[in-house]
Amino acid sequence: MTGSVLGMAAIISLNKVSVVREGKTILRDLSWVTRPGEHWFVMGANGSGKTTLMEVLAGYQWATRGHVAVAGAVFGQTSIPELRKHVGYVSPWIFRRMPPETLAEDVAASGVDGSAGSPVRHSVKVSRAARQALNARGCLHLARRRFGTLSSGEQLKVIMARALVNAPAVLILDEPFAVLDVAARAGMYRDLASLTGRRDAPQIILITHHFEDILPFFTHGIFLNQGRVAAQGLRHDLMRPRIISRALGVPAGSLPSVWQEQQA
């Protein structure tokens, strides 16, 4: 990483990024810059390209065209393991590829190299980092439990520890709360809020369909529509029924009341 996070002009920097798969354009000419101290929510209909965008940022997919950099690391010039250190990634896909028999501490340790919890013997340094990451998420007591035996809320804490084990510049959360009960969701909200209060906090990028997930610390948002940016900017400027309805392609009158009350 070049310099401290606070000294950098941008954390995420995308310039005219397109992703084409099997002849289909999934992201088109997408430009997006995030800066230190910002936290972003990401919204858009199913199929609008949100997950593809996050996989590009996390180094699991490559842009067909355009320029991508995270925390000063330029994609195409930096090795994938190096890139992945800058980005903590929590997504349903990570949950699915985690073998259920893996111990929670090995799940957390697998974040060090972005692998999926293979039961290798870790160095003392990696083991210590994994246990520290579990402790920071309040789940060190789960260290010797098998991933598949944990509740959804406990699994999410362990996957969060995995994502944060390298102290990344960015933490991407792709619809992480969908399976949680009310208490677990409230616990995650508290945990995220306290995480963002830390001086070394990662920038949080949250994909969600739910207004209640847009916690007070989110400063900015981006709406995707059919692979393009429909709107982006300050939260305060986006949280207006006219903008939301246009960006999401929903008639303003049929937005849930919680959205309609967001009139500034």
Ligand X SMILES: Nc1ncnc2c1ncn2[C@@H]1O[C@H](COP(=O)(O)OP(=O)(O)O)[C@@H](O)[C@H]1O
Q: Contact with ligand X (CB under 6 A): which of 44, 59, 117, 168?
A: 44
E strand or H helix at 59: none
The DSSP line for 82-115 is HHHHHEEEE-HHHHHHS-TTSBHHHHHHTTTTT-
Provide the minimum distance between the beta carbon of 226 and Mg ion in the complex, in angstroms, as a whole number.
14
10 Å CB burial of residue 225 (0-12, 13-18, 19+) is middle
Torsion angle, alpha carbons of 158, 159, 160, 163, to 10: 130
Q: Contact with ligand X (CB under 6 A): which of 34, 51, 78, 203?
A: 51
Provide the minimum distance between the beta carbon of 111 and ligand X in the complex, in angstroms, as a whole number.
22
Stretch in the footprint of ligand X (CB under 6 A) among 45-53, 127-135, 155-163, 215-223 = 45-53
Rule CB under 6 A: say whether 208 interacts with ligand X.
no
**How many positions of this chain bind ligand X (CB under 6 A)?**
12
Residue 27 or 161 with smaller CB distance to ligand X: 27
10 Å CB burial of residue 76 (0-12, 13-18, 19+) is exposed
Provide the minimum distance between the beta carbon of 177 and ligand X in the complex, in angstroms, as a whole number.
15
Rule CB under 6 A: say whether 92 interacts with ligand X.
no
- In DSSP terms, 30 is beta-bridged to 17
Residue 13 or 51 with smaller CB distance to Mg ion: 51
- In DSSP terms, 32 is beta-bridged to 14
Task: For residue 37, give the nearest of 253, 238, 202, 232 by alpha carbon.
Answer: 202
Rule CB under 6 A: say whether 22 interacts with ligand X.
yes
The contact mask relative to Mg ion for 14-53 (x = CB under 5 A, - = no) is ------------------------------------xx--
Provide the minimum distance between the beta carbon of 62 and Mg ion in the complex, in angstroms, as a whole number.
18
